[in-house]
Amino acid sequence: MSAHDVPQDLHYTDEHEWVRISADVARVGITDYAQNALGDVVFVTLPSVGATVTAGQACGEVESTKSVSDLFAPVSGTVVACNEALEASPELVNSEPYGEGWMFEVRLADPAGVQLLDAAAYAERLG
């Protein structure tokens, strides 16, 4: 079993994003594994509210003291909210990846067509 925190109530992508779906809106962030691999997050570029994102496509960036990594949209739809707290406090991604460190919310284009990993499948990929 992995030492990384993988909440059971979330869905995941191979690119280490987590998704919490509530009705037709998906809240998105990066996983504990991802924030740990990145190191100290110093800047986050998020998609704009109103932007259309496509699952699997880059829609922002996460900059850390080690590198800059693309942020991929785990679902397709329209961005309805961004976590503005990250502008002043990008370190929330490190300290609370599944809470206050969330990144953006998407109104799903096709809620039935969402294809994500469950917690067990994601944990298995982490080793």
Residue 1: per-residue pLDDT:
35
Residue 3: per-residue pLDDT:
56
R_g of the chain computed on alpha carbons:
13
Residues 82, 48: Cα–Cα separation, whole Å: 7
| Tokens 């003291």 belong to residue | 65
Q: Which residues contact residue 116 at a Cβ distance below 8 angstroms, ignoring those fewer than 6 apart? A: 11, 12, 13, 19, 74, 75
Residue 125: per-residue pLDDT:
93
**Which residues are bridge partners to 81 per DSSP?**
105
Delimit the domains of the chain by residue range. Answer: 11-113
CATH 3.30.390.30 for the 11-113 domain, yes or no? no
| SS3 of residue 48 by DSSP | coil
Residue 37: per-residue pLDDT:
95
> What average pLDDT values come out for the chain (127 residues) when binned by 10 residues?
77 96 96 96 98 97 96 97 98 97 97 93 94
Tell which residue, 96, 117, 87, 120, has the closest CA to residue 16.
117
Do residues 29 and 105 touch, judged by C-beta distance below 8 A? no
